[in-house]
Amino acid sequence: MKAVFAHLTGQNSRQGLWILPLIAGIVGFAWLAVSTDQFATPQNAKNLLAQAMPLIIVAIGQMMVVLLGGLDLSVGAVISFTTAILALDAPAAITIPAVFIAAIAIGFINGTTVTRLNVNPIIATLAMQMIIMGLTRLMRPVAGGEVPEVVKQLVSGAVFGVPFTVFWGLLVCLLAWKMLYGSRFGLHIFAIGGGIASGQSDAAHTFGIADKRTTLLAYIGCSCFAALAGIFLAGRIVSGDPNIGPPFTLDSVTAVAIGGTQLSGGVGSLHGTIIGALVLALLSNGMNLANVSAFVQTAIKGAVLLAVVAFQSRKKIGL
């Protein structure tokens, strides 16, 4: 019984404390459903899902890097950059591959500077964030342009009355599940992160794991997930917008942290991250329905993040 309890609370578990945010989410959901009429409507459910989806996608990518004890502060910039590329006056057959080539290149630079050039991940991705934002503003100083019809359809279309968003969710979750739990890559991520968190950063390497290559791939994966989120957002706003991405950087970290993933690495779960993103989306949705101003929403999200990281005490002081 004690062991079961320990598992549920995230002690002695690799999944982290995800049960608490789940309960919080359910309680919040129930409360909103009872207290406001607008919440439990099909339209709002659709909105909620569309709001949560890009965050879920970015957060999954962010989680892979966080599990390695890293952090990717360039995901927001990648999202903006993606919308700017898609809003170029070019066919989707060119721009969509271009988006992924760019994402892979960015992830490759992030991963290489971190693993080969010994740069702290926060500094490396912070610098990348500035560079990508600069490029984005060169291409599109203010919101505008129009994304190809295909991209719009990908997001707003539906088959048999089921919105495409649902398929996006299924596809992304399946992909992430395969990467994290259904492959050696995923196990190696947990192994490397576990070594880093317990202070023996070369433990995984000693087991014969290609730790640098795995880390590099995780950064590339993170950028690609951000690009995917960017495509989704571009389809929704049907234009390019340099300002759409940056809030996602901190939101994704918040979602990951809420979901029980330890920022020191090695402990966390896919379902926890999805729960974390949903809780955050629910919070925004609830505040929107209650007409809370956008500024206060930002501040409240900051306070939530502060509370969550204060809850995660680590062994070492610092970044």
Site for other proteins in 123-142 (CB under 8 A): 123-124, 126-138, 141
Kindly indicate which of the ranges 29-37, 46-54, 95-103, 249-257 contains the residues binding other proteins, using the contact rule CB under 8 A: 249-257
Least distance (Å) between residue 214 CB and other proteins: 11
Window 223 to 242, contacts with other proteins (CB under 8 A)? none
Q: Is 183 in the site for other proteins (CB under 8 A)?
A: yes
Q: Looking at beta carbons only, is 57 or 77 nearer to other proteins? A: 77
Q: Give the integer Cα–Cα distance in Å for 103 and 120.
A: 20
User: Would you call 210 helix, strand, or coil by DSSP?
Assistant: coil
Least distance (Å) between residue 261 CB and other proteins: 12
Q: Is 297 in the site for other proteins (CB under 8 A)?
A: yes
Least distance (Å) between residue 146 CB and other proteins: 21
Q: Looking at beta carbons only, is 79 or 154 nearer to other proteins? A: 79
Least distance (Å) between residue 312 CB and other proteins: 6
Q: Is 309 in the site for other proteins (CB under 8 A)?
A: yes
Across 214-269, where does the E strand assignment appear? none
Among 4, 34, 159, 319, indicate the residue that binds other proteins (CB under 8 A): 319
Among 267, 270, 275, 280, indicate the residue that binds other proteins (CB under 8 A): 267
Sign of torsion over alpha carbons 117, 80, 18, 168: negative
Window 184 to 203, contacts with other proteins (CB under 8 A)? 184, 187, 190-191, 193-195, 197-198, 200, 202-203
* Residue 93: strand pairing partners: none
Least distance (Å) between residue 108 CB and other proteins: 14
Residue that is written with structure tokens 């898609």 in the block: 86
Q: Looking at beta carbons only, is 32 or 204 nearer to other proteins? A: 204
Q: Give the integer Cα–Cα distance in Å for 102 and 85.
A: 9
> What does the DSSP 8-state code read for residue 219?
H
**Nearest Cα to 168, choosing from 53, 52, 44, 45?**
53
Question: What number of chain residues touch other proteins (CB under 8 A)?
Answer: 77
Q: Is 43 in the site for other proteins (CB under 8 A)?
A: no
Distance of CA 91 to the CA centre of its chain: 27
Q: Looking at beta carbons only, is 149 or 202 nearer to other proteins? A: 202
What is the token pair recorded at 109?
A: 């630079």
Least distance (Å) between residue 181 CB and other proteins: 8
User: Would you call 273 helix, strand, or coil by DSSP?
Assistant: helix
Q: Looking at beta carbons only, is 1 or 310 nearer to other proteins? A: 310
Q: Is 171 in the site for other proteins (CB under 8 A)?
A: no
Contact 11, 262 (CB under 8 A): no
Dihedral, CA of residue 85, residue 153, residue 58 and residue 174, to nearest 10 = -130
Q: Give the integer Cα–Cα distance in Å for 175 and 206.
A: 29
- Contacts of residue 4, defined as CB under 8 A and 6 or more positions apart, other chains included, come to none
Among 117, 142, 159, 162, indicate the residue that binds other proteins (CB under 8 A): 117
Q: Give the integer Cα–Cα distance in Å for 273 and 271.
A: 5
